[in-house]
Chain A
Amino acid sequence: AQSVTQLDSQVPVFEEAPVELRCNYSSSVSVYLFWYVQYPNQGLQLLLKYLSGSTLVKGINGFEAEFNKSQTSFHLRKPSVHISDTAEYFCAVSLGNQGGKLIFGQGTELSVKP
C-alpha cells in the first residue's frame, strides 16, 4: 500500500534561518508528488508539485523541493524563512491510475520565531 511519512510533526525555526521539511513515501508505482500549505483557519494551497522531468522543483513563496527516487523522498526547503511562513505543511502523493486520489502525510507544523 502507498503511504506518506512526514518525519517531523513540528519544526521551530528562527526568522531568516534555512528550513527543511522532510517527506518520504512508499509506492510500487510511479507517483506524482505535491506539497500543500495550510495557513491558520484556511484551506490548503498548492506550494509545488513534481510530475516528471527535473528533480528540483521550485514553487511559490521561495520554496523548492527535490525528488529523490532512490531514497523515495521529496523534502521541502527554503533558504530563509519569514514569520509569514508559519503554517502547517502537507506532503502528498497522487496515483495517476487511481482517479486522482491524494494520499497525505501527517503534516509538519512550521513555527517561525522572530
Chain B
Amino acid sequence: EAQVTQNPRYLITVTGKKLTVTCSQNMNHEYMSWYRQDPGLGLRQIYYSMNVEVTDKGDVPEGYKVSRKEKRNFPLILESPSPNQTSLYFCASSPDYAGVSNEQFFGPGTRLTVL
C-alpha cells in the first residue's frame, strides 16, 4: 500500500531533551515536507526537500533540523524542544516539485507535547 508513515504517533517529552520524528514514504517521491498544525493557524511548512541531500527552510524553521540521506526518509529533529513546539506534525510527499499536479500525500500525524 502506497503510504507515508510517521513515528511516533504520540510523544510527550520535557524541555531540552533531543528527539527525532521519523517519516518514510514508499512511493519513490522526490519531494518531502514537514508541516505543523496549530489551532486557528492551519498548517505551516517547517522544512522541505526537493531530493536527496537537498533541503530548505519553510515558513517556521526555527528550532528544527531535517536531513535527507535517502529518498524515502525525511526525519525531523528537535535538538532542544521547547513548550512552543507543542503541536501536531505532518510529513508529506509529492511525486515531484515542479510538476503540474503538486498533490501532496500526508502521513497520519505526530502529536508532540513538550512539558
Hey, which bits of chain A sit against chain B, CB under 8 A?
4, 6, 9, 32, 34, 36, 41-46, 49, 51, 90, 92, 94, 96, 99-102, 104-107
Hey, which bits of chain B sit against chain A, CB under 8 A?
4, 31, 33, 35, 40-45, 48, 50, 56, 58, 90, 92, 94, 96-98, 100-109
B45 & A96 in contact (Cβ 8 Å cutoff): no
B48 & A43 in contact (Cβ 8 Å cutoff): no
A43 & B45 in contact (Cβ 8 Å cutoff): no
Q: List 18 A-B contacts (CB under 8 A).
A: A6-B42, A43-B90, A44-B43, A45-B106, A49-B103, A99-B97, A99-B98, A100-B50, A100-B94, A100-B104, A101-B45, A102-B92, A102-B104, A104-B35, A104-B42, A104-B43, A105-B42, A107-B42
Give B107 Cβ to nearest chain A Cβ, in Å. 5
Docked Cα-Cα span, A105 to B56, in Å, equals 22
A90 & B50 in contact (Cβ 8 Å cutoff): no
B102 & A96 in contact (Cβ 8 Å cutoff): yes
Docked Cα-Cα span, A52 to B77, in Å, equals 37
A106 & B41 in contact (Cβ 8 Å cutoff): yes
In the complex, what residue of chain B is closest to A93 when comparing beta carbons? B102
Question: Inside 8 A of B33's CB, which chain A residues have their CB?
Answer: 100-102
B40 & A9 in contact (Cβ 8 Å cutoff): yes
Docked Cα-Cα span, A26 to B103, in Å, equals 20
Give A78 Cβ to nearest chain B Cβ, in Å. 21
Question: Inside 8 A of A42's CB, which chain B residues have their CB?
Answer: 108-109
Docked Cα-Cα span, A44 to B109, in Å, equals 9
Closest CB pairs A-B (n = 6): A104-B42, A43-B106, A44-B106, A100-B97, A104-B43, A94-B102
In the complex, what residue of chain A is closest to B54 when comparing beta carbons? A99
Counting chain B CB atoms within 10 Å of each CB, which of A42, A51, A92, A101 scores highest? A101
Docked Cα-Cα span, A56 to B112, in Å, equals 39
Question: Inside 8 A of B48's CB, which chain A residues have their CB?
Answer: 99-101
Question: Inside 8 A of A45's CB, which chain B residues have their CB?
Answer: 106
Give B102 Cβ to nearest chain A Cβ, in Å. 4
Give A10 Cβ to nearest chain B Cβ, in Å. 11
A46 & B56 in contact (Cβ 8 Å cutoff): no
